A = this chain, B = another copy of it.
């Protein structure tokens, strides 16, 4: 099968030679005296030309789209053909049994099918060059995340996804029967990545996290891919923001380099990542909005979507940046492990990174002293007992540390402009969807 196979993207290098291409029948066009078959492989499209006699002999007209075929023939230059070459005088072999046609024509540039149709048939519909582009951009992004952190001495970890306690982030959790005992699916690797700062100083993980979100919205998923980083020996959250800036720049560069064709197909817009992403304190952001936006958010403990959009526009206007750090979020809305600002204890050393007027990443400095954890839990009226395994970490010497988590699908959706995060999620899981 692999012998003598030439990939579509390399066809023009074989003009004058007998070669084989193999792939999916992407499209056929039957004209009066000639039939064109377009074969799709992982690198692109190859055009095959048959005379009407050849087409009849090969029963090419009977083959449904997406049938896997192998075509042997003579390569001729043709500037009209994809890649500048085509296969002539072909002989066709059926590689698998004929396919059922996909739910819609995969060769049409614009997908008009509704999202449920696309998702119900994703093993077929993801073959569409635009629909699969998001997954290619995701893959390149993850590669950029890892490459950036590998170069900065981070160690990759793989943490448990089955955990004893549901108390981690307050998010909704999935319960699991663990050998007769109640356990939960991990909502994040937060506790484990902090523990591993004590071992490797700098760690990252790229893995699934689980949220039992009862919300049926365009941005909630029951499982998503979290790109987590955590590192020690920081001064404060500015070291975390500086690291995140490197990661976002590295992800963007990797998408540009590794997924340039997918970027074109999805018409994705990549950000210019400034050397220094502008930042604005939460309190200053609210003052600015109150003074200029026409509404007054002061007193609110969090930013509203309208606030975020306004601040996104402001950052473009004032700093020419699509990225903006909002720092010093109020402690009341942050998890108990968040490090307060020693000068203004109602505010935290944690931040959101806004991208095009929406929150993309949350991060910050964490507490690192055992006594501070006990005090933080007591202040919230929480029993420390369920956190025993976590608190153990801070008994054994921990440096000031912090980190962040990037939701992969959310990042990709922002780049492609997908209205629904499911468009760029492989086999999404949500309130109503458990298959395929």
Contact = CB atoms under 8 A, between A and B. Distances in A.
A95 B400 contact: yes
Given A66-B396, A176-B185, A162 B210 contact: yes
Nearest to A214: B179
A155 B139 contact: yes
Nearest to A25: B397
B161 A135 contact: no
A389 interface: yes
Interface in A126-172: 126-127, 132, 135-136, 138-139, 142-143, 146, 150, 153, 155-164
- Chain A's interface size range is 35 or more
A431 B2 CA distance: 45
A399 interface: yes
Contacts of A107: none
A304 interface: no
A332 interface: no
Contact of A143 (B25, B150, B176, B200): B150
Contacts of A369: 96-97
**Residue of A66, A156, A177, A400 with most chain B CB atoms under a 10 A cut-off:** A156
Contact of A427 (B121, B159, B176, B239): B159
Contacts of A229: none
B400 A1 contact: yes
B208 A158 contact: yes
A199 to B, nearest CB: 5
A400 B68 CA distance: 9
Nearest to A65: B397
A271 interface: no
A2 B161 contact: no
Given A66-B396, A96-B399, A397-B67, A156 B139 contact: yes
Residue of A126, A159, A429 ringed by the most chain B CB atoms within 10 A? A429
Contacts of A198: 24, 123-124, 127
B139 A399 contact: no
A212 B179 contact: yes
Contact of A392 (B2, B121, B196): B121
Question: Which of A25, A96, A158, A369 is the most central at the interface, judged by chain B CB atoms within 10 Å of its CB?
Answer: A158
Interface string A413-436: 000000000000011010100111
A138 B158 contact: yes
Contacts of A164: 434-435
B233 A100 contact: no
Contact of A233 (B2, B132, B195, B399): B2
A230 to B, nearest CB: 13
Interface in A363-405: 368-371, 388-390, 392-393, 395-400
A323 to B, nearest CB: 22
A295 interface: no
A399 B127 CA distance: 14
Contacts of A202: 42
A121 B123 CA distance: 44
Given A1-B235, A156-B139, A162 B429 contact: yes
5 A-B pairs with the lowest CB-CB distances in the bound complex, closest first: A99-B397, A389-B436, A66-B397, A42-B201, A124-B396
10 contacts: A66-B396, A66-B397, A100-B396, A123-B396, A124-B198, A127-B199, A135-B200, A159-B427, A162-B223, A162-B429
